Chains A and B, each alone.
Chain A
């Protein structure tokens, strides 16, 4: 590693003095460290073309070739490992809050560890361990949460005292610390060499690597990648992988049909020093001080230290295609606060001599998670980019998942949190990205607390009622660019400001949401749910019904006016989407999906529906405002407004009818509420939205109507054991595993996607079960609140993790939902989870290291439904049927 860095550094300095070096030397410079240079001409065709020779691109190539694909070309516009990869700090850290990211980092670590042996290329791998410091109790809580999830994954990790910190790293000033987390297996590498090693291995496996080859654009025909145009000619291909790092956005926009890859670069600084008189040991652990916004690693007997400042400098907003990242200017004034933090943490460094301040741009994404997967518009167009300054930690694992995706059609883990399709075109505005990454970069070090919302790039998509609701005290959160109400602050009721409201404990809105829930239970509430994705699918003949019957597991051949809850499943029976479908007429269907399904569901349907001009699909999300009337008096409000009888005989549960509400006609009313409470959702053409809302609020007054927000909805649905796609359900969860067999009609007489897998599960049982946990000895006022991702223990053994949680105002207890597995005590092999297995265990939930007793339930509380109306009997009867 040392030699490599020296080489790089001398190169940088030399290059700064000779700005024209590239032109002078490009012809002679060979790819010395790559196993096989390819001065050859480009092949005319290949199965896969990868663009980008950084750690990400080489990792994808490596893993594809490992999986047996050989016909692969990797193109790099400059030299291999020359971009962010070349400059980055080389820290492999597994301490990640998101489970899939943790898995990727863990895999990367294991991969790099053996890479030198595999390839013969020195990677500089050194298992130094890492120490994450906490200056505050809240920080310590967040570290404990990470420690909990590392431990259950079998990654050694412990929470240590400041004293222990000093033993591990003698330079650290521990006076302001309350604790720390030690991960002994975290490592350091030379990222450039790792990348070269991956390239070497890939090259041995037959991957062709061409440097100094610029991809100008990708040709796409009929929604399918057909080839790549470069400055050295054209390559026909089936698959294209965009691993162009911070140039991925521009590359995505270079074709006729743009692929939106929302990422944006920011300058990132780190410092290199000369060695100490007594050089620092190369095994000294890496130190992360998030409260000081810095990281520190040993480097060449001195240190390397960088950080994530509060006032980042975004760059290349206008896009600038330059070959390799030029050596950007050092900015000491900008680095000043980080230097202060460094000297405060390690006062002993004062006398250390500066070698250089490196400016190494990193790309960031709108939600701090990397971008992976296939374009929703162009089949065969894959993306892996936007590593949010963790390219080395994620590179190995991410490359593996993407390779699996390309080869098998889907990765071996749920990667929805990273899926490109979680974004739409709306996150692709440069102004949006510039503003958002300025928020994201400091967030790398900020405390991540539950229910946290981005503050930039807001108020993009709004309901027509936005101003009305805002004036009534609405507080907002954002999903897929859409503003949604969290809750309504009653007049005269002041909440804490944003910074002070951050907490892992009971939040300040507790009573506000409580009263909204109470109103939903006893009277009636209105929640604006316009953000939900809405599609209309219709056909001239029976094509719509036939296609949908194949794509959905429930039976959609129901009488007109009926609503069906159903999963949209993949081959393995896993949920690609969970939706409600209303049959509007014999030949047309109205489909409601979660908000963030807008791109994914559209792409899935596009790819699976037959190419038939008689079958049309339209995204009508923007056409309707959705008002959810929840509560026992919803029926009274609606019948008064429509002069139509709304009783069970006239308007049964799971029913859909167009009717008039107030003056407005053509309002699509459905007897569902997404919560298990009685009520209706009104789909209102947007021009009537304000009218209908006003009518509902006026008429509702005598029934005690009030506005409510998503927090109330969430509490209601979780205490009723309703799973939500994206939170509880994913592509690896089947209806059988979450008690929804009643939504699967195996015998509907038509073959459907996932049917076989479900048959098998029905016969052989399931390997995980969606379970509801009631926390027993948890003090709502004093104890840490559960969030999601908390480990679940059965009889003291780890069996799974929670997926969501909420306080139930009815039970006056916390409810967690999560999956229970059955690992064999000796082999760790996964066994079938039976009802008995669930019922005959003592459960505990681990919240930041503290375990709370929990009661497991496979069915919701029937006592909650004493007031239940007709509809729930149908909607919920399925749960009992098993």
Chain B
């Protein structure tokens, strides 16, 4: 069984999406030029999600990747809801009041977000009312709290993450009279998702990360080469600080059982996540909810199963770690990707591949004849060779697709091997997950001119 190059391309490109920030006549005021995004499923259905939106009532753009586990329900819910929580957290008091008044009097709402979605990125219609009510409760509380202080982005991100997770938990505890929704909120709460979210506003880049997805900045050095800067820490057993944090939060008696085989309680790879109430609720609460829940939930061995050595919940949090970075002209792009990418590729390679893709021919060292003796024929040969190198890049119109092609198809020499690519993509569903994980990538490209101009202003 062998896939032709066009077949490979159609698989790779099925979920690709690009967005260009609208510009007029070169007078681009956004520090973001646009982004490329793509997903390649290994699970069926895919458990990764992604989101991107522009904040309409405040400045800036939000982008995120979400890696679900134990099903896709939680990742789906987070991908729909998290940005609203962030946007609301960022809103000034007056705007919140205005929005609340509009809802109260049944007037049209100010739009908060402009989504940039691939047609496959769906929102669940059924739950929108429920989600909206929870969100509204949140902003009503914010109005009541009115701290009067200007909103700090870091704080807003942390609050939004925590609040959404607590709403997910609460909705599952309360349940819903509608049996479909009731089952949905329980599935959301019992499954889990990591989140890696970027907020870009001018030169201010904030990364809020929960779990083991990763944000990486692509930096172009003065000599034209590419280097990678991590803008997030993985929350897993490889991160000593994280292991230490978990240990500090529980009694010494549990020290040995807390992290086993690099997993939390010997079960969970990420050390922080949304949902996963099995690692957050008390045993009593879990039992009560599962017993009163619908039959499907009761029949599910996973949900009924209580993790071993479960003494002092919660063991898990959705609180993100936030990193702030001031963008510089040499910061050319940001890669947000789920662990499916980072398992197969080193960040340095990611930086180089994306960097070379985005700059294309222009940043190949330009040829200058200077005083050398070059014949037309030699020059022609040289140019032909350079074009051939570039044409492999131009097969992809999307940086994320290009990265996936490398992640899946790279041979030991670091170049894409079509045969390998074909084999990896034609694996039967049940086998695919053994060879690779879901991969979700969003590549954000920055506008160095705008960033440079910001810098000069300061």
Contacts and interface: CB of A to CB of B under 8 A. Distances in A.
B56 interface: no
B453 interface: no
A352 B377 CA distance: 8
Given A353-B374, A354-B374, A332 B379 contact: yes
A499 interface: no
B238 interface: no
Nearest to A343: B380
A339 interface: yes
A331 B368 CA distance: 8
A339 B369 contact: no
A352 B367 contact: no
Nearest to B372: A354
Given A317-B26, A318-B26, A430-B25, A333 B366 contact: yes
A372 B203 CA distance: 48
Contacts of B373: 353
A318 B367 CA distance: 27
Contacts of B14: none
Nearest to B387: A336
A351 interface: yes
Interface string A340-352: 1011000001111
B7 interface: no
B376 interface: yes
A431 B379 contact: no
A256 B386 CA distance: 50
Interface in A492-544: none
A356 interface: yes
A333 B367 contact: yes
B366 A329 contact: yes
A658 to B, nearest CB: 42
Contact of B377 (A271, A318, A335, A351): A351
B375 A353 contact: yes
A357 interface: yes
A72 B197 CA distance: 69
B361 interface: yes
B383 interface: yes
A354 B366 contact: no
Contacts of B375: 350-354
B230 interface: no
B361 A333 contact: yes
Contacts of A273: 376
A332 B377 contact: no
Interface string B382-394: 0110110000000
A317 to B, nearest CB: 7
Contacts of A336: 380, 383-384, 386-387
Interface in B376-424: 376-377, 379-380, 383-384, 386-387
A343 B376 contact: yes
A333 B374 contact: no
Nearest to B369: A354
B95 interface: no
B364 interface: yes
A356 B367 CA distance: 12
Contacts of B386: 333, 336
Interface string A345-380: 000011111101100000000000000000000000
Contacts of B26: 317-318
Q: In this complex, which of B25, B364, B368 has the most chain A Cβ atoms within 10 angstroms of its Cβ?
A: B25
Interface in B322-362: 361
Interface in A742-786: none
A354 B376 contact: yes
Contacts of A351: 375-377
B376 A332 contact: no
A552 to B, nearest CB: 43
A333 B376 contact: no
Interface in B36-82: none
Contacts of B380: 336, 339-340, 343, 350
B387 to A, nearest CB: 6
Contact of B366 (A318, A332, A352, A431): A332
Interface in A682-708: none
Contacts of B379: 332, 339, 354
Contacts of A431: 24-25
Nearest to B371: A13
A357 B368 CA distance: 9
Contacts of A350: 375-377, 380
A330 interface: yes
Contacts of A352: 375-376
A350 B382 CA distance: 13
A289 to B, nearest CB: 16
Nearest to A434: B25
Contacts of A356: 369
B422 to A, nearest CB: 31
Q: In this complex, which of A332, A339, A343, A430 has the most chain B Cβ atoms within 10 angstroms of its Cβ?
A: A332
A434 B379 CA distance: 31
A330 B377 contact: no
B449 to A, nearest CB: 12
A116 B25 CA distance: 47
Q: In this complex, which of A317, A329, A354 has the most chain B Cβ atoms within 10 angstroms of its Cβ?
A: A354
B376 A330 contact: no
Interface string A316-342: 011000000000011111011001101
A333 B383 contact: yes
Interface string A421-435: 000000000110010
Given A353-B374, A353-B375, A431-B25, A331 B369 contact: no
Nearest to A356: B369
Interface string B100-120: 000000000000000000000
Nearest to A273: B376
A332 B383 CA distance: 8
Contacts of A349: 376-377
Nearest to A336: B383
A335 B231 CA distance: 40
A336 B366 CA distance: 12
A318 B368 CA distance: 27
Interface in A253-297: 271, 273
A350 B387 CA distance: 19
A339 B361 contact: no
A330 B25 contact: no
A350 B377 CA distance: 4
A300 to B, nearest CB: 15
Interface string A126-155: 000000000000000000000000000000
Nearest to B360: A333
A343 B369 CA distance: 18
A340 B383 CA distance: 9
B22 to A, nearest CB: 13
Contacts of B361: 333
A339 B376 contact: yes
A602 to B, nearest CB: 28
Nearest to A334: B361
Contacts of B374: 353-354
A343 B382 CA distance: 14
Contacts of A317: 25-26
A353 B369 CA distance: 10
A339 to B, nearest CB: 5
A273 B378 CA distance: 13
Contacts of A271: 376
Nearest to B362: A333
Nearest to A340: B380
Given A317-B26, A349-B377, A354-B369, 14 more contacts: A329-B366, A332-B368, A332-B369, A336-B380, A336-B383, A339-B379, A339-B380, A343-B376, A350-B375, A350-B380, A354-B375, A356-B369, A431-B25, A434-B25
8 contacts: A273-B376, A317-B26, A330-B366, A330-B367, A350-B380, A353-B374, A353-B375, A354-B369
- List the 3 closest pairs (A to B, CB-CB), nearest first: A350-B377, A336-B383, A332-B367
Interface of B: 24-26, 361, 364, 366-369, 373-377, 379-380, 383-384, 386-387
